[in-house]
Amino acid sequence: MRVAIVTGSSRGLGASTAIKCAERGIGVVVTYNNNPEKADAVVAAIAATGGTAVALKLDVGDSQSFPAFLDAVKEQLQAVWGRKTFDYLVNNAGYGLFNPIATVTEEQFDGLFNVHLKGPFFLTQALLPLMEDGGHVVNLTSATSRVATAGVAPYAAFKGGLEVLTRYMAKEFGERRIRANSIAPGAIRTELGGGLNGEFEAMLAGQTALGRVGEPEEIGGVIASLLSDENRWINAQNIEVSGGYII
């Protein structure tokens, strides 16, 4: 059985991705930071449909914790799947902050940087020795790095940096046949940044060609499909999945 590590998968896009991967027969390492109960619920949902998953704690914003996470992954790979390697890494964990540039503090800036760019860089580096040749890294970027949206400058800037990093990963990991792509969601109904209220959702829907915001499973399904062998020739791409957001 192939195995995926999906960061930040106790809820939202990550949970949907974990479930969609399991539906395709992929074992899943679900990670959480503050809510083990929600992570356990995702594991239970996967188990209920015949899939296999485990939940591990991971703070993507704390790179000093990555060696301990690596040890935990090694232990679970062997115990649950009888393997020493895994196949797919989905760098999804993140959070939103809506502040104009004039009011963003250095602490807020650093927090977003650590989770959205530094974390994926060094987590991928740490896990790379365990990744099977022919594997795949998928990074979650954002349509906000294409369309300037007031109040999300640091978040969007780091997502843009992650998009660039994805191409470098594809370049440098290619000798091991490891692909790297990124998925850029548009407006999605999740808890990111506090979620959507009615007025905000209506505005976003009005800016989207299909006339609505997206649902988490519409992103998770794309990611699970991208991991599959049928899409093995897609590499070094940033794929926007937004329903036609501000086109």
Report the CATH number that the domain containing residue 29 is assigned in CATH: 3.40.50.720
- Residue 88 among the catalytic residues: no
pLDDT band at 221 (very low <50, low <70, confident <90, very high): very high
The pLDDT value recorded for residue 45 is: 98
Domain count, the chain: 1
**Phi-psi map region of 158: left, alpha, beta (phi>0 left; psi -120 to 50 alpha):** alpha
Whether 184 maps to a domain, the answer reads yes
pLDDT tens digits for 169-205? 999 999 999 999 999 999 998 776 556 677 888 999 9
Contact 197, 189 (CB under 8 A): no
Whether 53 maps to a domain, the answer reads yes
Whether 246 maps to a domain, the answer reads no
Whether 119 maps to a domain, the answer reads yes
Whether 210 maps to a domain, the answer reads yes
Whether 247 maps to a domain, the answer reads no
Q: Which of 32, 88, 155, 245 is catalytic?
A: 155
Which of 71, 178, 55 shows the shortest CA–CA distance to 126? 71
The pLDDT value recorded for residue 67 is: 98
Measure the CA–CA gap between 31 and 155, rounded to whole angstroms. Answer: 21
Segments forming the whole domain that contains residue 170: 3-241
Whether 62 maps to a domain, the answer reads yes
